[in-house]
Amino acid sequence: GLQRQRAQSFAQGEWLLWVDADEIVTQELAFSIQQAISEAAEQDVFQVKRLSYFFGRFIRHSGWYPDTVVRLYRRDKYQYDDALVHEKVLCPGANIKTLEGDLLHYTATDFRDYMTKSIRYADDWAEERLRRGKRATLSKAIIHSAAAFLRKYLIQKGFLDGRHGFLLAVTTSFYVFNKYT
């Protein structure tokens, strides 16, 4: 969040579109962005639907799609929070609209890359909680980890993503366990 705030302080255009290094704007999304900017009201901000690629295929279930995130807004009206991980655009009172088209997200190049990123995110999450005076226990780690698997695989229909959905549920459970431990 702080890096995005710093970057925003250098931007000069009226609109900001945030695209990470592991993301690609589809043609449909690009057209939708151009149309949205030309027709936007003063309080409009726009979220995109991220379609994430996970070990050889795009994931359309498992709570991963549509993964909507605010990415297009007027530079002088809104900005990101200061979260270390999973930062969000602060846009109270805004009219949030969803753009057509997908933002393709290539989340990791391989299993090692994915797990390394997962451990780093877990560490950042734990550090942020510790700063707020929150503590975790081993029983919380076990309960939240099991619940994460059930939510990802059953409730969010990860089973419809086949073996990829199962692997995603397992790695999510492992991520949650790491956060709490």
Single out the residue of 167, 5, 177 nearest to residue 83, CA to CA.
5
Confidence of residue 83 (pLDDT cuts 50, 70, 90): confident
What confidence tier does 168 reach under pLDDT thresholds 50, 70, 90?
very high
Q: In this structure, how many other beta carbons lie within 10 angstroms of the beta carbon of residue 2?
A: 12
Q: Is the pLDDT of residue 93 over 80?
A: yes
Read off the pTM: 0.84
- Of the pLDDT bands very low, low, confident and very high (cuts 50, 70, 90), residue 118 is very high
Lookup result for tokens 């805004």: 94
Written as one letter, the residue type at 169 is A
Condensed to tens digits (0 to 9), the pLDDT of residues 2-15 reads 889 898 899 999 99
Write the pLDDT tens digit of every residue in 38-54: 999 999 999 999 999 98
Q: Which of 33-37, 78-82, 96-100 has the lowest mean pLDDT?
A: 78-82
Q: Which residues of 116-155 are buried (b: 16+ CB within 10 A; e: fewer)?
A: eebeebbeebbeeeeeeeeeeeeeebeeebeebbebbbee
